[in-house]
Amino acid sequence: MKKLLVVLVMVTAFTLVYLGCGNSGTGPSEETYTVSGTLTKLDMEDGVMGYAMLITMEGDTTYNLIYSDESPFSAGVASYSMSGVAAGTYYFGAVIDVNGNWESSNGPDEGDWANEDFSEVTINQNTVINVTNDGWKLWSGGGGNNCVSGTLLKNGVEDGVLGYVALADSGYNYQYSAVSEQPFSDGWTTYDIYDVMDGSYFFLAFIDVNGNADPYDPSPDAGDWVNSDPPWVWIDQNTELDVYDNEWAAYGE
């Protein structure tokens, strides 16, 4: 497994750095902005802490908490304000730490609430992001018996070629893996990963075009395809994750 990890980390690090350099929005800039807003959960007890976060993957192999602010709920509302935010694209996360044990490195746990719309936001001006009373999902905690499944699509891949999928934690430590349930046929294949614990993972995939991957220690090499921008996903239910034709990059390029 270690070999796969090292290779995937290298591939991803290269890809992210490369994309970052090509993005005009990430150039040096002195200008910064304020991202502020309210977290509303009308039935929340006074004093429970609400957290807002901007998270990025750019230029690194792990997700990083770049900006955050926190405040206690009062009458169902907590306010936050993150100043000095550099222009760029981030994930916006919000958590209500109902059980009072928050550590940013561990994220939410059972009984906490997390914002339903955990998505990318582009900051290039002062920005208000609110989470409304309906914008939360209950975090189900460290249990979980989730199935992650999906389809890998890549035109031109020969029939019989195998696809590999892995879920890795925030440090790119390998957590779960699967080989295609059926080999590629007509440009697609499917996979299933069972018993995935609730949590956040990077979703990594590669297509073993040249057929030399060891199923017990798989890793991509020259001639293979890897998903070029692995998403960070939060799994707390059965989830479908697909990789489409335009989401593959030649390994090492």
Q: Which residues are at the interface with Ca ion (CB under 5 A)?
A: 97, 99, 101, 109, 112, 208, 210, 212-213, 221, 224
Residue 14 or 33 having the CB closest to Ca ion: 14
Which residues fall within 8 angstroms of residue 200, CB to CB, at 6 or more apart? 63, 107, 169, 170, 232, 233, 234, 235
Three-class SS state of 34: strand
Q: Which is nearer to Ca ion, 69 or 97 (CB)?
A: 97
Residue among 83 and 212 whose Cβ is closer to Ca ion: 212
AA letter at 99: N
Q: Are 104 and 74 in contact (CB under 8 A)?
A: no
**Which residue(s) pair with 54 in the sheet?**
67, 92
**Contact by Cβ (8 Å): 156, 184:** no
Least Å distance, CB 64 to Ca ion, is: 20
- State the minimum distance, in angstroms, from the CB of residue 206 to Ca ion: 8
Of 19 and 138, which has the nearer Cβ to Ca ion? Answer: 138
Give me the residues paired with residue 64 across strands: 56
Residue type, 239: T
Q: Among residues 148 and 162, whose Cβ is nearest to Ca ion?
A: 162
Q: How near is the Cβ of 204 to Ca ion at its closest, in Å?
A: 14
Minimal distance in Å, beta carbon 29 to Ca ion?
Answer: 35
DSSP 170-229: TT--EEEEEE-SEEEETTEEEEEEEEEPSEEEEEEEEEETTS--BTTB----TT-EEESS
CB of 106 to Ca ion, least distance (A): 8
Least CB distance from residue 111 to Ca ion, whole Å?
7
Q: Would you say 83 or 99 has its CB closer to Ca ion?
A: 99
